[in-house]
Chains A and B, each alone.
Chain A
């Protein structure tokens, strides 16, 4: 099957190898052109395919686009960021992963919509490390994002995330503590109190 000329085709090995070899940081002009192509339906598919080559320089404008009014622009941004995160997360590319992590963390405070910030958090769950733990933990206090942050901390392995969850059991808003307890149990910790509500029915039918 020839994938090279199809729109919407995942990068071939040759494309990925070229991107890896050069680690190009696209110029401002290239990024602007790229974003413009994402905003236009006829050029969107091919632009998504180039996201990995644009690299970390495209992160901030893509995170802005995640909050765009147009639903297809938002989806295009997400598709690009997914590809960038999956590429940066490959074995042996920890430097790229840290660069992209920093760029994504920087975008969270300025994300214009809740959903955009949620999506950035979940992207960070795939490649984030200690910097992500430190950067996102304060958002446990946000009533709209706390649950997503809890999931991010559950997913990131290591002592920092586990310590953050343990501390959060005492400091997070009370409404979030049962789910934090659940995360701690998932991570192998014994937790007193906050019995799981997973089997407790709460939604009767109106029939």
Chain B
């Protein structure tokens, strides 16, 4: 633990250095560090605790809250607020945070608080972009669950908000921070399988709504208006939530936007393609014909990239590759239902799972970079990488540009499927070309006041 004089001298060093050299010029910093973190007069500095608010405390949100509560116990995080539109979940989260976090229903109360440095957003997907933009415009650093966005317009708005506010944004594709993802990346970056021309992803089929229910009044603990947020008004139906939003095109977007945002995120990182996109997208598949859910049951999407030329394929179910160590599958609960094969011109490499677990082949796990070999970034952990971004201004491993690039693959795959035709994409302008209807569907006007 650093003593007060060390803290003062480190803070003074950083402040003085930035003033003389100009923000971003020295230390390779890509962003201006917010004054609050640098320790401007009267403000806490970089070594102080980060004060966090949690927006959405259900499934994944509960997991994030659990992590932050453990960081509270370490002394480097303060959980100041929990927020949910379901008051039963909200009450449980308040207890989980030890009764010290203030509960809110409306996330904008959280964003108003000057003492909150950062927010964790784990709401249904149709809220991600709006809440991220709002949080950024209120000066908060943001950890937002994947996928980053549901439309092209949303993704662009998120990137713009990140740039104009210079906050640290981490998208929750935590597979990038997994050890064996790093090993796979290192192996491929060092040419061990040759030039990669194709990446094929597999994922098991999506469920269908075999238990459809009629519309009804919402349960008393749920604020249906706030759950819907940006979506157009419709009556409550129990098959919308909780968790089952995943199977609605306009919210969760199905497996491609859920696990695709993990498996294809890793692919973009390994292929060094975060700053680009495909030039064409072609999807075929089968969608439900009954029930509320409408996301693809089976699907094949082909993305063609240019300069360099390579192909990415997302398949439900595709060709599952069994993990080679059956004992490990049993003992560690390795999920083989999704993953990717990287096809190089010398060899191939399989990377299983993609989110909270990532596993790859022994040849990559045991690989050691030779002298003069290529280095790739090894994340200290997805939350920790975000904290480093907050404290130093360094770009996170799943920063908003990378998160949006991944989400665009998912969004475009679904769009090609529902329109029943191939789409052409300009990866520089980030827009659909030559299809007026598809261009209109790059955005979805949002219900006021829950707008970007």
Q: Interface of A with B (CB < 8 Å)?
A: 1, 3, 6-11, 16, 41, 44-45, 48, 71-72, 75-76, 79, 82-83, 86-87, 89-91, 97, 115, 118, 122, 125-127, 147-148, 150-152, 154-157, 178-179, 182-183, 186, 196-207
Known contacts: A79-B289, A118-B234, A201-B109. The answer to whether A196 contacts B449 by CB under 8 A is: yes
Kindly state the interface size class of chain B when it binds its partner: 35 or more
A180 to B233, CA, bound (A): 17
A6 / chain B contacts, CB cutoff of 8 Å: 286
Interface status of B195 (Cβ within 8 A of chain A):
no
Determine the distance from Cα of A10 to Cα of B90 in the docked complex, in whole angstroms: 41
Q: A10-B286, A44-B289, A151-B445 are in contact. List 5 more A-B contacts (CB 8 A).
A: A150-B448, A155-B440, A201-B109, A203-B226, A207-B90
**In whole Å, how far is B214's beta carbon from the nearest beta carbon of chain A?**
5
The answer to whether B420 touches A9 (Cβ under 8 A) is no
Chain A residues in 8 Å Cβ range of B420: 10-11, 16, 83, 86-87, 90
Residue from B94, B214, B232 within 8 A of A207 (CB atoms): B94
Asked if A203 contacts B233 (CB within 8 A), the reply is no
Within the assembled complex, what's the spacing in Å between the Cα atoms of A203 and B84? Answer: 11
B291 at interface, CB cutoff 8 A? yes
CB <8 Å contact, B111 and A199: yes
Taken together as a complex, chains A and B put the C-alpha atoms of A6 and B283 apart, in Å, by 16
* Neighbouring A residues of B105 by C-beta, 8 Å: 203-206
Interface flags, B129-147, vs A, CB<8A=1, else 0: 0000010011000000000
Chain B, residues 283-318, CB within 8 Å of chain A (1/0): the string is 011111111101001101000000000000000000
Contact, CB under 8 Å: A82 / B418: yes
B289 touches A182 (CB 8 A): no
Complexed CA–CA distance, A10 and B91 (Å)? 44
- Neighbouring B residues of A179 by C-beta, 8 Å: 448-449
Partner of B290, one of A41, A90, A156, A157: A41
Interface, chain B (partner A; CB < 8 A): 87, 90-91, 94, 103-109, 111-112, 134, 137-138, 212, 214-215, 223, 226, 232-235, 284-292, 294, 297-298, 300, 417-421, 434-437, 440-441, 443-451
The count of A-to-B residue pairs whose CB atoms sit within 8 angstroms is 147
Q: Top 3 closest A-B pairs, CB basis?
A: A89-B437, A179-B448, A201-B108
Alpha-carbon distance A201/B109, docked complex (angstroms): 6
Residues of B within 8 A of A90 (CB): 419-421, 435, 437
One of B215, B289, B437 near A7 (C-beta < 8 A): B289
**B445–A3 contact, CB under 8 A?**
no
- B1 CB to nearest chain A CB (Å): 36
- Interface centre among A10, A76, A127, by most B CB within 10 Å? A10
* Chain A interface mostly: helix
Q: How far is the CA of A44 from the CA of B290 in the complex (A)?
A: 8
> Most chain-B CB neighbours within 10 Å: which of A76, A86, A183?
A86
CA distance A82 to B214 in the complex (A): 21
Closest to A151 in B: B445
Closest beta carbon of chain B to A201's beta carbon, Å: 4
In the complex, how many angstroms separate the beta carbon of B446 from the nearest chain A beta carbon?
8
Shortest distance between the CB of A132 and any CB in chain B (Å): 12
Residue of B nearest to A183 (CB): B445
Contacts of A97 in B (CB 8 A): 437
Q: A8-B287, A199-B111, A206-B87 are in contact. Are A75 and B103 (CB under 8 A)?
A: no
Contact across chains for B284 and A3 when beta carbons are under 8 A apart:
yes
Q: Which residues of A contact B434 (CB under 8 A)?
A: 91
Instruction: Give bound CA distance, A152 to B447, whole Å.
Output: 11
Q: How far is the CA of A16 from the CA of B105 in the complex (A)?
A: 48
**CA A156 to CA B439, docked complex, whole Å:** 11
Min CB distance A169 to B, Å, is 14
Q: Which of A3, A76, A127, A156 contacts B289 (CB 8 A)?
A: A76
Please report the C-alpha to C-alpha distance between residue A97 and residue B449 in the assembled complex, in whole angstroms. Answer: 32
* Cα–Cα, bound, A152→B111 (Å): 30
**CB distance A1 to B445 under 8 Å?**
no
With known contacts A118-B233, A126-B437, A9–B87 Cβ distance under 8 A: no
What is the CA–CA distance of A155 and B441 in the complex, to the nearest angstrom?
9
A155 touches B443 (CB 8 A): yes
Assembly CA distance A183 to B446 (angstroms): 9
**Distance in Å: Cβ of A191 to nearest Cβ of chain B:** 13
- In the assembled complex, which residues on chain B have CB atoms less than 8 Å from the CB atom of A154? 445
- The residue in chain B whose Cβ has the minimal distance to the Cβ of A114 is B233
Which residues on B sit within 8 Å (CB–CB) of A91? Answer: 434-436
Q: Is A203's CB under 8 angstroms from B441's CB? A: no
